[in-house]
Amino acid sequence: MAASPQPASTESASRTAIHWQRFAVPFEYPVVFTEGVFDPENCALRDVLCRLEPAKRHRVVFFVDDGLIGSGASRTSLLETIERYALAHADAVELACPPIAVPGGEKIKSELHFVESFQQTLFELHIDRHSYVIAVGGGAVLDAVGLISTTTHRGVRHIRIPTTVLAQNDSGVGVKNGVNLHGVKNFVGTFAPPFAVINDLRFVMSLPERDKIAGIAEAVKVALIRDAEFFRWIERHMADLATHQRDAMATMIRRCAELHMRQIGQGGDPFEMGSARPLDYGHWSAHKLESLTRHHVRHGEAVAIGMALDARYSVLAGLLAAGEELRICALLEFLGFDLWHPALAKTGPSGEPVILAGLRDFQEHLGGELCVTLLADIGVGVEVHQIDAARMGQALHWLRARAAPG
Ligand SMILES: NC(=O)c1ccc[n+]([C@@H]2O[C@H](COP(=O)([O-])OP(=O)(O)OC[C@H]3O[C@@H](n4cnc5c(N)ncnc54)[C@H](O)[C@@H]3O)[C@@H](O)[C@H]2O)c1
Ligand SMILES: [Zn+2]
């Protein structure tokens, strides 16, 4: 480890003494890729639960996204499947209670009574720090249940089973949890690595068409800023991805998850202490567009537009070779993304596009100086600390003209 500039203890002549406390805690967790995680013969979940204490019977609580449960006769099927799995592995797994269905989507993050009532449940079940809280669902359910797990008893073991493309290739493999408060997304949250993540392709294949497409945006994003070869792979397989072919989707999710994991594990700032947001290419305008449309535009859909905008800006700023932005836009459109939304045309009292306020919000989220990732080449992200509003206005105009020529 590099020598720290501070001595272990300093004492000045006067009344102040400083003792430097210093330690490092290594984190590790497996990210498992499988199919049919709750098939009784699939041991992925059992192996994960038993990885530290193989001989123990582990107490487990499941929170399951109700978007997975369906309605009518199929309503209980996933909950029952989980119960059957636990029964088949009863020597290793003890359900502390039947799996609990929870609201999917932003509702669970925006209404805090859910957090309180789930914590009440953990209290009544006497869940301890060696028990497991397992979240099965989209990114919103993972964020909310993750927060509950990491704050109850200051941290109960938490396993994530993400069920959307976005949660499997991006949010679910990371270290962040959170819920919304005061109308601010993720205002309350923690950085806390999970005990394990299990990605099951079967969940993704049952997603509605729109959500299958939306999550691909994060793969294009990470390819654009980190991995030119992956970008070329996406281009070569765009027909398979646009029609959600199983093998192409599996490879795309896995490579994208790996690149996100590498950034968290090796990027030097897993808990985002600095001002950089290295994986947030195309995100400053995406977050703003999501809130301007009250989340009618999905995160991935907004990121696709944000990437097209910042690609054009990168060309106008002389960073990216002219023509590359057309290549990026063509790929995104082929995959099924619209690259314009009327909310981008909204202007404020000063006549400036409202979307530009997203730059300030983006800076405020972390504090410190503005740090926006642009493109120096396909596969090469570059951080800049200033954005020229007039030039960004030109990029917006260009995007609009492409969408409605003439
Ligand atoms: N923690 C992080 O690092 C991080 C990063 C990015 C995004 N996020 C958060 O993730 C959330 C978005 O997550 P998301 O895109 O996964 O969407 P989501 O969790 O909002 O889910 C979208 C809808 O899909 C349903 N659903 C989930 N899985 C399904 C399946 N397999 N089949 C059918 N329906 C299913 C849900 O019930 C919900 O109605 C946002 O709250 C965002 O803030 C977190
Ligand atoms: Zn994103």
Per-residue pLDDT, averaged over 219-240, amounts to: 98
Both tokens of 405, joined, read 């020529």
pLDDT for res 1: 43
- What is the pairing mode between strands 157-162 and 132-137? parallel
pLDDT tens digit sequence for 29-38: 999 999 999 9
Using the mean position of ligand 2's atoms as its centre, give its distance from the Cα of residue 360 in Å. 18
* The model's pTM: 0.93
pLDDT for res 3: 47
pLDDT tens digit sequence for 159-172: 999 999 999 999 99
pLDDT for res 278: 81
Using the mean position of ligand 2's atoms as its centre, give its distance from the Cα of residue 54 in Å. 36
Q: List alpha helices for 160-298, DSSP H.
A: 165-169, 201-205, 209-226, 228-236, 238-242, 246-266, 283-292
Residue to probe by mutation, ligand 1, list 141, 143, 264, 298, most atoms within 8 Å of CB: 143
Bin 61: left if φ > 0, else alpha if -120 < ψ < 50, else beta.
Answer: beta
pLDDT at 39 over 80: yes
Q: Whose CA is nearest to atom 38 of ligand 1?
A: 105
Closest atom of ligand 1 relative to the 109 alpha carbon: 41
Q: Is the dihedral of CA 81, 87, 91, 96 positive or negative?
A: positive
Distance, CA of 167 to chain centre: 6
Residue in the block written with tokens 């204490």: 53
Map residue 269 onto helix, strand or coil.
Answer: coil
Give the pocket of ligand 1 (CB within 6 Å). 65, 67-68, 104-106, 109, 137-141, 143, 163-164, 166-167, 170-171, 174, 176, 185, 203, 206-207, 211, 299
* CA angle, 366 then 299 then 201, to 5°: 115
Q: Which carries the bigger pLDDT value, residue 361 or residue 356?
A: 356
Residue to probe by mutation, ligand 1, list 35, 109, 158, 171, most atoms within 8 Å of CB: 171
Closest atom of ligand 1 relative to the 214 alpha carbon: 15
pLDDT at 310 over 80: yes
pLDDT at 4 over 60: no
Rounded Cα distance between 227 and 301, Å, is 21
Q: Whose CA is nearest to atom 35 of ligand 1?
A: 67
How many CA atoms, within 13 angstroms, populate the side-chain half-sphere of residue 389? Answer: 11
